Chains A and B, each alone.
Chain A
Amino acid sequence: MSRKYLLLILSFGALLAVPSVIHDTFFLRIITEAILWIGLAISWDVLAGYTGYLNFGHGAFFGIGAYTTALLMKLCGWSFFLALPFAGLAAGALAVIAGIPTLRLKGAYFAIATWALSRAIQQVALVMDITGGPDGMRLPTFLHPDFFYYLMLGVVAAIFALYWFLLEKAPFGLKVKAIREDDQSAMSLGLNPTWIKLQAFILSAVPTGILGAIYAYWITYIDPASVLGDLVTDQAVVMAVFGGLGTLIGPAIGAIIIYLFKTYFWAYLSDYQVLYLIILGGVIAASVVFLPNGLWGTISGYLQTRNAVKQKPVPQEKIDKGVHHV
């Protein structure tokens, strides 16, 4: 366990040093966006992997955070840091509204309803005047790549730490997993499944909204296609499923691999952008069939088996004497 922590802290320290090593803003931008995708993939996985409810409208929460920030900054003239909490709040409120009727039901209803919700919000953002319709919105510019790098890193690290604590260390994680495995038994132990699932949904939505806010201020231009489009959801799903559902490390690894692949793909094969959708879909379908536990789940399962094999067998005499431990 301690080796795992050390590795995490070391990689965080290495990431802190990145802007002083890499001065090329293009590469810094790629790393910043990779970190953003780590945040989006783990926040999707909190609901999907830990509670078993698939949010096929993850992009709606990202977009609502982005649009809330843009509207508050442009119309009310608020500063970014004042608007940031409201982006999280808006996403959380949307989660409560969408979650109350659907989280009582089976996962299929939830998947459908969130998907329909994201489509509906997309359509509304396209026709409303206040959001600029298909033209999108421009935010006040603040061109400091280092600032956004540290902000993104800090926020995603905080999200990761919060999830780690709540889901792997605190009783909340046990409650969530108990409900995922068997909600009837969990209910008989006095847990309220709908309330706990709603908490998990909020836990997934609020950070997504905040990431949307940072994205909007960073890129300075948002439109329905870029922040509310299906691609946000599609990519978060691929990353989490490919990396390994129900863990925090898995989706993070998946996010890095898929994002780097996407960057490479769009840089060299930009004429075939729609091919990217085929690849995303293919990776999802193939992961489900061949890697049901994802990349990380498969690797860690393999390592566990190998370590178990490495352990020396108990000598026969000791078993005869009734001593089972070595």
Chain B
Amino acid sequence: MELLPQATVDGLLIGGIYITIAIGFSLAYGVMHIIDFAVGEWIMLGAFLGYYLNLWSVLDPFILLPAIFLVFAVIGYLIQPLVYRVISGKKGNPVLMGLVFTFGLALMFRGAALTGFGFYSHSIPSAISQDSFFIEMGSVFITIPYVRLAGLLYAIAITLVLHFVLKKTDFGRAVRALSQHREASGLMGINAKRISSYVYGIYVGLSAMTGVIIGSIFTLNAQMGGEYTILAFFIVVLAGMGYLAGVPWAAFLLGLVQSFFLIYLNPSYTLMAVFGILFTILLISPKGLFGRGV
């Protein structure tokens, strides 16, 4: 039992990072109604950019975050019109085509990363990677690495900023209007195309930034994308598609599931457990834990 507090703390620390992945993903879904199969690949590409920038500039990965956000936000902004063209096509089934299209993008990115970066795993060293602090209360002993704590703080900061932007600014109001009703928001003078481009850029930038955090806490390699895509889906489905307020709870739950499997059970069955939970939720409450999804 002495491992229980440690497992819980670990789970919450990991879960915090997942929030940032899933919020961007959920935002993009709410506005564009697109399920992006390349989400994990954006994380992977971001992590690699962070890795190489860190090698080149010897700056701490946490300082590099804004630069990486900018680079990938621009990439996302530029790619969005193509995605938009696919999902708003007149022929066939646009939603289906959107899924196929991002599936193709994901394959391309993975292949490109394997070609360019090879199969090896790396990690991005941060000045605080080595240190951790300890909490001792009687027989309970908890280790908290600084870098994980920094990851959680980063996640909380991002969540608060996004909350402020969505609730208090004109841009946020436009985004919320767009996800509520596309046609009506167009009649109110909201430029759907431009807002969608911004949102997609923010989503890609957020995913890439989180990739750097993941790279400095765990490791990064060219094949890591698939795993994070599944985790992002898991959180978004659990929270309810497009329901942002449910995301943190689902993310913490996922973190706890992972850390408990890691400590008490066989970590090789984590994906099976993740799938089992996903499956049960879809069976009982397809609109997510809170029944608020679309």
Binding site for B on A (CB under 8 A): 48, 52, 54, 56, 98, 100-102, 104-109, 111-113, 115-117, 119-120, 123-124, 126-127, 180, 230, 234, 237, 241, 245, 272, 274-289, 292-293
A-B contact count (CB 8 A): 139
Binding site for A on B (CB under 8 A): 35, 37, 82, 85-86, 89, 91-93, 95-97, 99-101, 103-112, 114-115, 226-227, 229-230, 233-234, 237, 241, 266, 268-272, 274-275, 278-279, 282-283, 286
Instruction: Give min CB distance, B75 to chain A, whole Å.
Output: 15
Docked complex Cα distance between A289 and B282 (Å): 32
B234/A285 in contact, CB under 8 A: no
A278/B283 in contact, CB under 8 A: no
A289/B85 in contact, CB under 8 A: yes
Instruction: Give min CB distance, A116 to chain B, whole Å.
Output: 5
B108/A281 in contact, CB under 8 A: yes
B268/A109 in contact, CB under 8 A: no
Asked if A278 meets B282 with Cβ closer than 8 Å, knowing A107-B96, A119-B271, A284-B104, the reply is no
Instruction: Give min CB distance, B148 to chain A, whole Å.
Output: 24
Selected A-B contacts with CB under 8 Å, 28 pairs: A54-B103, A106-B95, A107-B96, A107-B99, A109-B282, A111-B99, A112-B237, A113-B278, A113-B279, A116-B230, A119-B226, A119-B227, A120-B271, A124-B269, A275-B115, A280-B104, A280-B107, A280-B111, A281-B106, A281-B109, A281-B110, A281-B111, A282-B108, A284-B101, A284-B104, A287-B104, A289-B101, A293-B91
A54/B96 in contact, CB under 8 A: yes
Instruction: Give min CB distance, A47 to chain B, whole Å.
Output: 11
A100/B283 in contact, CB under 8 A: yes
CB neighbours of B233 from chain A (8 A)? 112, 115-116
Instruction: Give min CB distance, B240 to chain A, whole Å.
Output: 12
10 extra interface residue pairs, beta carbon distance < 8 Å, beyond A123-B271, A281-B108: A54-B103, A109-B282, A116-B275, A119-B271, A123-B272, A127-B266, A288-B97, A289-B82, A292-B89, A292-B91
B100/A288 in contact, CB under 8 A: yes
Docked complex Cα distance between A283 and B35 (Å): 20
Docked complex Cα distance between A127 and B230 (Å): 19
B226/A230 in contact, CB under 8 A: yes
Docked complex Cα distance between A274 and B91 (Å): 33
CB neighbours of B107 from chain A (8 A)? 234, 277-278, 280-281, 284
B108/A277 in contact, CB under 8 A: yes
Docked complex Cα distance between A278 and B35 (Å): 21
Docked complex Cα distance between A106 and B282 (Å): 11
Q: Who on chain A is nearest to B94 by CB?
A: A292
Docked complex Cα distance between A52 and B100 (Å): 11
A120/B96 in contact, CB under 8 A: no
A276/B111 in contact, CB under 8 A: yes
B104/A108 in contact, CB under 8 A: no
CB neighbours of A117 from chain B (8 A)? 275
The 4 A-B pairs with the shortest beta carbon distances in the complex, nearest first, are A277-B111, A284-B104, A281-B107, A281-B108
CB neighbours of A100 from chain B (8 A)? 283
CB neighbours of A286 from chain B (8 A)? 104
Docked complex Cα distance between A126 and B114 (Å): 22
A120/B92 in contact, CB under 8 A: no
B100/A284 in contact, CB under 8 A: yes
Q: Who on chain A is nearest to B34 by CB?
A: A108
Docked complex Cα distance between A251 and B116 (Å): 31
Instruction: Give min CB distance, B27 to chain A, whole Å.
Output: 16
Docked complex Cα distance between A234 and B226 (Å): 13
CB neighbours of B266 from chain A (8 A)? 127
Instruction: Give min CB distance, A103 to chain B, whole Å.
Output: 10
CB neighbours of B89 from chain A (8 A)? 292
**Which of A54, A116, A285 contacts B278 (CB under 8 A)?**
A116
CB neighbours of A52 from chain B (8 A)? 93, 96
